[in-house]
């Protein structure tokens, strides 16, 4: 299995270029990020080239965080800002060779939000696909992200259908266990719609070596079911230890 370090949570004591090097030293096979736009893209590209680690994904900007924004693309009245955030993510990803962009929906509801989201996703695909960059959407559980437009997998699948299959799901096991459970069967049923899988312990979102999901069993089961991508470790460190990495088969 190939495990990716999410630098939005891991190695935060370092600036991003050094965090990439730290992930390499620790034995991770790739990295992914949240909102890296304050870091010069060329410096990140140099660290990626030095380590040989691929950059799997970044998120579009959240908007005005102090005002409660958590994404923009499902907010009908803020299309210009949403598309500027998409443009920013595409430009940054081109320089760094990032493979995917997670377009954040934001806090909204209803059919106008659905239409805004799908329209902005089509825009994102139009801008990103010429560079070989994929577009991902991620359902977030309502306990951690109250009011977020994309709160379950059925809604994500409806969005994919409305965009003619041009986007895929970032399937975060932490969120999906809270919302749906039955993780293996769900992935088996919707494998074609899944572009990336992330994981963290449930319910505390810490190291994936405890809690109600046995990832040492589940991740190989996903691979056996046909998932061939990386697994993104997106968790909040409690122990600071990476001993759990040794439990994931041949490295």
Verify whether residue 77 is a known catalytic residue: no
Helix 41-51 vs helix 16-26: crossing angle, to nearest 10? 20
**C-alpha distance from residue 112 to each of 5, 74, 153, 166, 223 (Å):** 36, 8, 19, 20, 37
Q: What are the two backbone dihedrals, phi and then psi, of residue 8, each rounded to the nearest 5 degrees?
A: -70, -30
- Sequence-separated (6 or more) residues with CB below 8 Å from residue 42: 95
Active site residue 111: no
For residues 205-219, b (16+ Cβ closer than 10 Å) or e, as one string? bbbbbebebebeebb
For residues 166 and 173, give the distance between their C-alpha atoms in angstroms, rounded to a whole number: 22
Choose the catalytic residue: 13, 161, 212, 234. 234
Structure token pair of residue 23? 């992930």
Active-site pick, 38, 77, 81, 138: 138
Residue 241 phi/psi, 5-degree rounding, is: -90, 145
CA distance 241 to 197: 22
List 4's β-bridge partners, or say none.
Answer: 30, 232
Residue 210 to residue 190: CA distance in whole angstroms: 26
> What SS3 state is found at 22?
helix
Catalytic positions, written as ranges:
138, 234
């Amino acid at each position: 299995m190939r495990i990716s370090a999410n630098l939005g949570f891991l190695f935060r004591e370092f600036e991003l270029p050094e965090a990439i090097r730290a992930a390499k030293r620790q034995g991770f096979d790739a990295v992914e990020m949240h909102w890296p736009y304050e870091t010069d893209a060329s410096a990140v590209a140099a660290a990626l080239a030095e380590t040989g680690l691929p950059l799997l994904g970044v998120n579009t900007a959240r908007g005005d965080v102090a005002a409660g924004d958590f994404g923009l693309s499902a907010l009908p009245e803020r299309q210009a800002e949403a598309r500027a955030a998409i443009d920013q993510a595409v430009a940054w990803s081109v320089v760094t060779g990032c493979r995917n962009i997670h377009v954040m929906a934001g806090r909204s509801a209803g059919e106008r939000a659905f239409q805004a989201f799908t329209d902005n996703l089509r825009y994102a695909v139009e801008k990103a696909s010429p560079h070989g960059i994929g577009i991902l959407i991620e359902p977030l559980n309502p306990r951690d992200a109250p009011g977020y437009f994309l709160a379950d997998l059925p809604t994500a699948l409806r969005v994919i259908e409305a965009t003619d299959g041009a986007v895929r799901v970032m399937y975060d096991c932490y969120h999906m266990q809270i919302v749906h459970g039955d993780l293996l069967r769900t992935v088996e049923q919707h494998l074609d719609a899944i572009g990336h899988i992330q994981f963290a312990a449930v319910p505390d979102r810490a190291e994936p070596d405890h809690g109600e999901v046995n990832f040492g069993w589940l991740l190989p089961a996903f691979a056996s079911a046909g998932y061939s991508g990386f697994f993104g470790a997106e968790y909040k460190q409690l122990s600071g230890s990476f001993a759990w990495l040794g439990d994931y088969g041949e490295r």
